[in-house]
Amino acid sequence: MSAALARPVLVTGATGLVGSRLVRVLVAAGTPVRVLSRDAARAQARLAAGGGAVAAFAWDGTTPPPASLEGAGAVVHLAGEPVFGGLLTAARRAAIRDSRVRSTEKLVDAIGALAPAARPEALICASAVGYYGDRGDEALPEEAGPGEGFLAEVCVAWERAAERAAALGLRVVTLRIGIVLARDGGALPTMALPIRFGVGGPFGTGRQFVPWIHVDDLVAMIAAALADPRWRGPVNAVAPEPVRNSELTKAIAAHLRRPAFVRVPAFAARLALGDIASEVLGSRRTVAAKALALGFTFAHRDLAGALAQEL
């Protein structure tokens, strides 16, 4: 991102893997940044350490204080309870849903309570490729309908909550994010760990498609969505070339110079992960149609290059 945005950008999830990198990019460009955090003082100290204008506001994870929104130029909503944090108990289902759907509803309600002139111009809201459910080898551009399952239902409600902001005059972008590849967080260290010890391998048949994106490309995509008014509606935040689970596993193993022949049977994945196992066993051949049509340039188009940088 080369040019500063004139009005502040409010970021939720700003201390997470993607949010912290986005804040650095915005600050480096000279854009004023506001963040929402349960521990505002800690977030302020951490995110402002490199210099730049960062103002932190305390929130409960659901309802933002009006002062954080008033006069902001845009909102980037990335906060959400981790999906792979244990079995899908009733309590975890509620936490996953509320941290996404309810927080977005409350965010839009708070925007609606502002005078029209004080409202942000855009809402960039995270979503996930879980929207599509398990679709086999079917190509899935943004026009494809939703699938079935818990996460698909959450994503549909999540995006619907964000789209309510359009009636308030905001440009709304919902990014359906694939597996984020980064050395310091997200799925990659978890996937690489058993392979490092020689006990990793494909999940299930290994033929399921795995949509992925390098963390730097995801941050660049968010920055593009902030700066370019042509970006609106759902956008698949995935690399141009989806790969199968077996290809991903082999590529990680090759970079680590380790074997990857210990296949994880589907029943074992379900036993270990419960209902959430469908997210690693299901197939989503997600296509980056809209981003490419908008002229977005991926720095990491192929898996080998992305892994070479992160591993």
- What percent of the chain has pLDDT above 90? 62
Number of Cβ atoms within 10 Å of the Cβ of 71? 16
Mean pLDDT in the chain? 90
Q: Does a structural domain hold residue 3?
A: no
Q: Does a structural domain hold residue 118?
A: yes
Angstrom distance (rounded) from CA 217 to CA 236:
12
Question: Is the CA virtual torsion 114, 119, 120, 124 positive or negative?
Answer: positive
pLDDT band at 50 (very low <50, low <70, confident <90, very high): low
Q: Does a structural domain hold residue 220?
A: yes
The residue segments making up the domain with residue 262 are 9-247+250-310
Angstrom distance (rounded) from CA 62 to CA 224:
26
What pLDDT, in 10s, does the model give residues 85-141? 667 788 888 989 999 999 999 999 999 999 999 999 999 999 999 999 999 999 999
Q: Structure pTM?
A: 0.93
Mean pLDDT over 144-160 rounds to: 95
Of 198, 162, 178, 174, which is closest to residue 245 (Cα–Cα)?
Answer: 178
Q: Using alpha carbons, list the distances in angstroms from residue 214 to 123, 180, 303.
A: 22, 6, 9
Angstrom distance (rounded) from CA 215 to CA 300:
9
Q: Does a structural domain hold residue 4?
A: no
**Spatial CB neighbours of 308, under 8 Å, sequence gap ≥ 6:** 255
Q: Does a structural domain hold residue 2?
A: no
Q: Does a structural domain hold residue 128?
A: yes
| Backbone φ and ψ of 171, nearest 5° | -85, 125
Mean pLDDT over 146-155 rounds to: 94
237: domain CATH number is 3.40.50.720
Angstrom distance (rounded) from CA 199 to CA 5:
48
Which of 39-43, 145-149, 154-158 is least confident? 39-43
**Residue found under tokens 């080898």:** 137
pLDDT at 48: 73
Domains in the chain, number? 1
pLDDT at 121: 96
The DSSP symbol for 264 reads: B
**Residue found under tokens 């080998």:** 304
Q: Does a structural domain hold residue 51?
A: yes
Q: Does a structural domain hold residue 116?
A: yes
